[in-house]
Chain A
Amino acid sequence: MEIDFGFVLSQALSPFNLLLALTGVVLGTVIGALPGLSATMAIAVLVPFTFTMDPASGLIMLGAIYTGAIYGGAYAAILVNTPGTPSAIATTFDGYPMARRGDGDLAMTLATLASVVGGVVGAVLLMTLSPLLAQVALAFHSSEYFWLAILGLTLVASLSSGNVLKGLIGGAFGFTLSMIGVAVIGGDTRYTFGSSALLGGIDIVAALIGLYCIPVLIDMVARPDRHLEPAPIGRGFRLFEAIGLCAANGFNLVRSSIIGTLVGILPGAGGSIASLVSYSQARQASRHPDRFGKGEPGGLLATESANNATVGGGFIPTLVLGIPGTPPDAVILGALLVQGIRTGPELFTQQSGIVYVFMVGLLIATVMMLPLGLIIGRYAYRFIVNTPKSLLVPLIAFMTVVGSFAIHSNPHDVVVMVSMGVLGWLLSLAGYGPSPIVLGLVLGQIAEQGFMRAYLIGGARGNFGGQLLFDRPISWAIAALILFTLCVPVFKHFRTGRKKPTEVRP
């Protein structure tokens, strides 16, 4: 296959396409920053406009919005402890504590740098290794999804900061919430108490907004001090400090970006799992795992690089196999179909011009995120820090309602959001954090369905154990990683305990 690089570059770098990439990134960032407004929806709304453009330009615009939206999710996570998108759940763990203590400017810059690094890694892997990496999507069967979800759930133990029992109870509660509605496997109606509104289950985004944002809002009203510590005037972007931290976390960034790309390729996973898994691996590899969850830059770098890497990763099965890697990819795939473009192997051979123009465009849009993100992030940070609470609280409260309504244009999701918020606040008074509940809710469905499918297929073939674990080398690897993740802290605890028997931690 001959690719005319001169043609591809001149197309991707045409002023019109650059303008589209710029607009897309800005628009995407704003949409991603507002909880409830998703990349999927933004892309669906804009798809008709791209029909008037040539396919490559349309794709560049949609890709830019997508990557901008995943990045923008970090804003709300860092500044108001609310993931703007499910991909940013783990960003709240360290981003918000950093902002609370006055390092919000640094956190925003770090998130921008990490997102650009992750996005570039994902896009470069998309351009170079697509056909090979697409096989990952096929190698993952239901049992691997089950183990991957369990790996994500091991984070419950490390997130429950001291009280593992309460973390486990929270995780189990989230798991129960994930079962509400009509079961995909079996078709049973579970825990709906006769309400038809609950048949669809608890919407994850509505629950996220409620569980994370409402307690913060109540807290802001209840406490007299400022929402975030303001940064001293004239400190700038702290770009060099951030670059230094990135350099120190170089290995972490690369590992997280690769995890992000690989998980992005899996059609049943997505940005939330990618960032949770890379967070847990970063924490485990760190020399200071105890600092994670308390404002550790390494945690923020891991999640933000991983979730932006899923953008490039998700396009791999979309373009190579015609299987959408993520929900926004499904919309883009539909748009391609309406324009008469076939994805799959033919796309690379017959219409490779479009594909490569798009990939280069995506890369350019990702790089553009650096200056744009630094500027937009700075304004967003200043706005949240300088706006008086009396304005900020009603504004955010209003946005939570609009955002949860916007998910499916349905008032039911607003009710879910408020109920989960009040519940989350009450539970936080009793010492139960929102994150274990959210992990149970997000990963519960994946774990349950993966297990049930392995059970059904294994049952039909008369080899359940083989189907779930023994005949599946990838499952071995993930299960080993789970064991490792669970045992290392115990091992470390005993070793340090023996070395320094006198040290007593408060």
Chain B
Amino acid sequence: MLLKKLVLFVAAAAFAAFSGAAMAYPDKPVNYIIPFNPGGESDISARLQAPFFKKITGQDLIIQYQAGAGGAQAWSVLNDQPGDGYTIMGTNLPHIVLQPLLQNPGYATDDITNVHMFHFTPDALIVRADSEYETVQDVIDAAKEAPGQLTAGGSATNSANHIANQLFANRTGAELTYIPFTGTGAVIPALLGGEVDMVWSYTTVAAGQGDQVRMLAVAQEERHPLFPDVPTFKDLGIDIVGGAYRGIAVPESTPEDVRKELSDIIGQINADPEFIKQMEEAGFAMLDVPYEEMDDFMANRKKTYEDIARQLGAIQ
């Protein structure tokens, strides 16, 4: 009797182990390192992903923070982590392209193995609700009348916001003086308090500020569902599409099948209508670049950023 039970138990255990192996990744919680402080867009989107990850895989996504040097401290040690798929890291564009271009941050852009880009926060030109500028054309006219006298705030130097400001000047000939602040959060009081005339920021920021601000245009292919009345730059004949892109990377020792599996899971989360709804209500714009298409996507973005960085005088 006892022997029979034991045999059954062993058989069951063997079956469990076998089926576990067949189901493979992931069969335990996954550590998700965010290279920034909690509270930012990277953190919020990761927190929105976590319950869906659990729903699809049955495993927890454990969010951790390793902030420092604008993300560089975490990215520079990404490849030292075990490549078993249980340590994954958030990655951000343009950061991982610009940082190695401008200084030596301890990693190269190609050291980072991106497996999936899952959303972006489109650049947006935002003014106060009571601003005299009603349209992008108003800004262009005013800037051409007095080149460099209008001020546009943004987060940090050589950042996504800084690039947007330069692209805008390239495409329209309107020169705005870019004023860098420490982080997205610090830009908003400067806008609301009238220290700067307008800011380069993201749709997420406009979503958080409600009717205190007016968004003049967004840098998306199509209008954002949350702001159906705000034109895209393309609607206005200005070719700017971009923003801060966010994705997930793994250590380079991670096997191909795990990279694909992870990319599939993130893709499934991205396809969930409930997830899309939550993301878009917070102002994010969906994006789906799976592992297979990553090389093309990165090559394209690198080209754009390198051209602008050269123009900003940041690289020779």
Interface residues, chain A, with chain B CB atoms under 8 Å away:
40-41, 43-44, 47-48, 137-142, 181-187, 189, 192, 194, 196-197, 199-201, 203, 267-268, 317, 321-324, 327, 330-335, 337-338, 340, 342-346, 408-410, 412, 449, 453, 456-457, 459-462
Contacts and interface: CB of A to CB of B under 8 A. Distances in A.
Given A182-B103, A345-B210, A346-B210, 19 more contacts: A41-B65, A47-B47, A197-B106, A199-B106, A200-B73, A321-B188, A322-B188, A324-B185, A330-B38, A331-B39, A342-B210, A408-B66, A410-B66, A410-B73, A412-B73, A453-B179, A460-B150, A460-B151, A461-B149
A337 B278 CA distance: 10
Contacts of A334: 38-40, 43-44, 47
B30 interface: no
A327 B70 contact: no
A199 B193 CA distance: 31
A185 B189 CA distance: 18
B58 interface: no
Given A142-B195, A268-B182, A321-B192, A199 B72 contact: yes
B19 interface: no
23 contacts: A40-B38, A44-B65, A138-B192, A141-B193, A184-B156, A187-B157, A187-B158, A189-B103, A199-B105, A267-B186, A321-B209, A324-B39, A327-B39, A330-B38, A334-B43, A338-B47, A338-B48, A408-B65, A412-B73, A453-B181, A456-B177, A457-B196, A460-B149
A410 B65 CA distance: 10
Contact of B189 (A182, A201, A317, A332): A317
Contacts of B69: 181-182, 196, 199-201
B225 interface: no
Contacts of B102: 187, 189
Contact of B195 (A40, A194, A324, A457): A457
A313 to B, nearest CB: 14
B189 to A, nearest CB: 5
Contacts of A139: 193
Contacts of B185: 267, 323-324, 330
Given A200-B72, A268-B182, A44 B189 contact: no
B104 A196 contact: yes
Contacts of A186: 157, 180
B74 to A, nearest CB: 8
Contacts, number: 166
B68 interface: yes
A409 B64 contact: yes
Interface in B129-179: 148-151, 156-158, 177, 179
A186 B189 CA distance: 21
B105 to A, nearest CB: 5
A196 B105 contact: yes
A183 B314 CA distance: 13
Nearest to A458: B151
A317 B192 CA distance: 12
A331 B150 CA distance: 33
Contact of A323 (B47, B104, B188): B188
A268 B50 CA distance: 31
A41 B38 CA distance: 8
A338 B50 CA distance: 11
A183 B37 CA distance: 19
B239 interface: no
Nearest to A138: B193
A-B pairs, 3 with minimum CB distance:
A200-B69, A330-B39, A138-B193
B20 interface: no
B151 to A, nearest CB: 5
Which range holds the interface residue count of chain B? 35 or more
Contacts of B148: 460
Contacts of A138: 189, 192-194
Interface string B190-202: 1011111000000
Interface in B10-38: 37-38
A296 B189 CA distance: 38
B232 to A, nearest CB: 24
A346 to B, nearest CB: 6
Contacts of A201: 69
Contacts of B149: 460-462
Interface in B85-110: 102-106
Contacts of A140: 189, 193
A260 B287 CA distance: 43
B182 to A, nearest CB: 5
Contact of B282 (A322, A335, A337): A337
B259 to A, nearest CB: 24
A420 B117 CA distance: 40
Nearest to B281: A340
Contacts of A345: 210, 212
B152 to A, nearest CB: 10
A197 B193 CA distance: 36
Contacts of A200: 68-70, 72-73
B212 A337 contact: no
Interface in B34-61: 37-40, 43-44, 47-48, 50
A457 B190 CA distance: 11
B44 A185 contact: no
A62 to B, nearest CB: 12
A196 B44 CA distance: 28
B37 A330 contact: yes
Nearest to A43: B38
B67 interface: yes
A183 B188 contact: no
Interface string B106-119: 10000000000000
A139 B193 CA distance: 6
Nearest to B314: A187
**Most central of B102, B182, B282 by chain A CB within 10 Å:** B182
